[in-house]
Copies of this chain bind each other. A is one copy, B any other.
Amino acid sequence: MQNLRFDANGLIPTVIQDATSKDVLMVAWMNADSLQKTIESGETWFWSRSRQELWHKGETSGNIQKVVEIRYDCDGDTLLVLVNPAGPACHTGNSTCFYRRLEN
């Protein structure tokens, strides 16, 4: 944890990747608390910037994400969490939040 650099708001962007398909599922923010809960529980926890509260992914939908591995980047300012998801990552029902392609 001491290798990580949280931003001025105490947050670190976190990429969630499906451990099997390797699809990028979502990007969310963690603080030290949510990272600790993620490590301890083996399921993803985030910090909701809009609701200003800890958020256990799948708590209402059931679509939890089981943690396979947590990685961090060369600068220590981004996390990559490989997961086995119990269902779609996106609230729209899509497996990934990145279901749209940008038109040129």
Contacts and interface: CB of A to CB of B under 8 A. Distances in A.
A97 B80 CA distance: 10
A82 B101 CA distance: 11
Contacts of A78: 27, 97-98
What is the copy number of this chain in the assembly?
Answer: 2
* Interface size grouping (class) on chain A: 20 to 34
Contact of A75 (B24, B39, B97, B102): B97
A74 B99 contact: yes
A11 to B, nearest CB: 11
Given A17-B24, A22-B23, A70-B102, 10 more contacts: A13-B27, A15-B15, A15-B27, A24-B80, A71-B101, A72-B100, A74-B92, A74-B99, A75-B97, A80-B98
